[in-house]
């Protein structure tokens, strides 16, 4: 199956700093990628849809100025958590949708963010 | 986005027993998928059932789908300790997946 990678897998940062998380589709092109967030013992919640070459679409309640998404190529989307706070500590998971039908979605392994 | 409900929220069984998890959703779907997630890890895709299918099997997994009731069930037969994980259903509308609340399964050896 297709592979999606995320980097870093874990990151610890201080409150007020910014953190960038990368999501790459390794062997296929993805016009669309999704970013999910998962708090401990909870389900995954869609944060935003990342579209190559255009602005991301954010879900209700997700601050676009805080979670900056850039999808500059067909294989890379980045999520930057700006001015991170402890409440942003979470597991961030991306997925990539294959371009062209049938559309299949592949998940990255996730990034554990801890803000101290 | 709407989120499905799963029950039970937590399930503890003995090795060798069957485990059944249920999922209900609210909107029309193209397909429904089940995922497993080990603690602190990424998602593992288990099985996909399309909206025009009623039952699907894969190894020890059996999934049913009732679109009239907007519900699905995942049955794991002859459970093993390695099946201990959280299980999520996810429905596909347009493109993004909407995940259920999950069932935490504990299989006691």
Q: Which of B43, B51, B98, B103 to mutate to test the interface with A (most CBs of A within 10 A)?
A: B43
Handedness of CA B102, B52, A59, B42 (dihedral sign): positive
> A36: distance to nearest CA of chain B, Å?
10
pLDDT digit string, tens, across residues B5-14: 788 899 999 9
Q: How many Cβ atoms are within 10 Å of B73's Cβ, its own excluded?
A: 18
Tokens representing A55 are: 């602005």
Give ∠ CA B18-B24-B29 in degrees, rounded to 5: 115
The pLDDT of A6-32, averaged and rounded, is 95
Find out whether B92 and B100 touch, Cβ atoms under 8 Å.
no
Burial classification of residue A10, based on how many CB atoms lie within 10 Å of its CB (0-12 exposed, 13-18 middle, 19 or more buried): exposed
User: Would you place residue A91 in the very low, low, confident or very high pLDDT band (cuts 50, 70, 90)?
Assistant: very high
- In DSSP terms, which residues pair with A38 in a beta bridge? A44, A91
Alpha carbon distance A113, A21 (integer Å) = 9
Output the pLDDT for position B1.
33
**B67 or B2, which is more confident:** B67
pLDDT digit string, tens, across residues B34-55: 999 998 888 999 999 999 999 9
Alpha carbon distance B61, A63 (integer Å) = 39
Among A98, A101, A106, A82, CA closest to A6:
A106
CB spacing of A46 vs B45 below 8 angstroms: no
Q: Which of A33, A34, A43, A110 to mutate to test the interface with B (most CBs of B within 10 A)?
A: A43
| CA dist A72 → A52, A110, B82 (Å) | 6, 20, 40
The pLDDT of A70-92, averaged and rounded, is 95
Alpha carbon distance B62, B53 (integer Å) = 12
Task: Tell me which chain A residues have a C-beta less than 8 angstroms from the C-beta of B98.
Answer: 46
Residue B34 contacts A, CB cutoff 8 Å: no
Mean pLDDT of chain A: 93
């Amino acid at each position: 199956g297709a592979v999606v990678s995320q980097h870093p897998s874990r990151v610890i940062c201080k409150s007020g700093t910014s953190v960038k998380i990368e999501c790459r589709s390794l062997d296929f092109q993805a016009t669309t990628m999704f970013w999910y967030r998962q708090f401990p013992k909870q389900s995954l919640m869609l944060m935003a849809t990342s579209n190559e070459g255009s602005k991301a679409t954010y879900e209700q309640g997700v601050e676009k100025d805080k979670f900056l998404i850039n999808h500059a190529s067909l294989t890379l989307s980045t999520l930057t958590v700006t001015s991170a706070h402890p409440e942003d500590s979470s597991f961030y998971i991306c997925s990539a949708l294959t371009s062209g039908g049938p559309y299949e979605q592949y998940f990255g392994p996730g990034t554990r963010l801890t803000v101290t | 986005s709407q989120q499905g409900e799963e029950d039970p929220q937590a399930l503890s069984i003995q090795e060798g027993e069957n485990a059944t998890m249920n999922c209900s959703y609210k909107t029309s779907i193209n397909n429904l998928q089940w995922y497993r997630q080990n603690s602190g890890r990424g998602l593992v895709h288990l099985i996909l059932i399309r909206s025009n299918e009623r039952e699907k099997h894969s190894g020890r997994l059996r999934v049913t789908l009732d679109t009239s009731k907007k519900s699905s069930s995942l049955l794991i037969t002859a459970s093993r300790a390695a099946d201990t994980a959280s299980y999520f259903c996810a429905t596909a509308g347009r493109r993004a997946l909407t995940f259920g609340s999950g069932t935490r399964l504990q299989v006691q050896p």
